Amino acid sequence: MALQILLNLIIAVVWMFLHNDWSFPRFTIGYLVGAVSIGLLSRFWPHDFYLKRVWAVIKLLILFVKELFISSFVVIGLIIRPKLSIRPGIVAYQTELQTDWEITVLSCLICLTPGTLTLDVSRDGRTLYIHAMDISDAEMLSQQIKSSFEKAIMEVTR
């Protein structure tokens, strides 16, 4: 992926050389030309086209912000209710993610989802211990949410 970005930058610079024009608009056009040609030649690369991955990163960021909003409203709703109707608990969750980066991103995402907080990650990085605010529906719901998170993270890294 880094190689493709580097190649794209080189194509943009070559484009500027060809026009003998060192301005930002020329660079942008060159970058677009490079992106299109790399995209068209993507079957010669061992990996996918890198802009696909950039798009996946943007989708992950949008998911992050959305979950942050939802989770704070859920927590505030629980706080200002006159009677505390919460059943907290700690759930073990098996993850399929492997590298440290993926697990870090996943645990940050979990910290910001409605009513869940990562308490501990086991030594081998296979199990996450999650403190859930409301365990009754959390098991089903969090499983579902986390499968969407895991999928979004995997789209970025693989």
Partner 1 sequence: MEMISKLGELLLGLVILFGSLISALSAFGLIRLPDVYLRSHAATKSATLGVLLILIGTFLYFMFYLEHSSAKLLLGIVFVFITAPVAGHLNGRAAYRSGVALWEETVQDDLKNALKKEQRK
Instruction: List, in order, residues 6 or more apart from 142 with CB less than 8 Å away.
Output: 91, 93, 113, 116, 130, 132
Phi, psi of 95, rounded to the nearest 5 degrees:
-110, 150
Q: Site residues for partner 1, window 74-133 (CB under 8 A)?
A: 75-76, 79-80, 84, 86-92, 107-108, 111-112, 115, 117-120, 122-123, 127, 129, 131, 133
Are 142 and 148 contacting, i.e. CB atoms less than 8 angstroms apart? no
Residue type, 139: E
User: In sequence order, what are the beta bridge partners of 128?
Assistant: 93, 121
Whichever of 9 and 68 has its CB closer to partner 1, that residue is 68
For position 60 contacting partner 1 by CB under 8 A, the verdict is no
Whichever of 134 and 155 has its CB closer to partner 1, that residue is 134
| Contacting residues toward partner 1, per CB under 8 A | 64, 68-69, 71-72, 75-76, 79-80, 84, 86-92, 107-108, 111-112, 115, 117-120, 122-123, 127, 129, 131, 133, 135
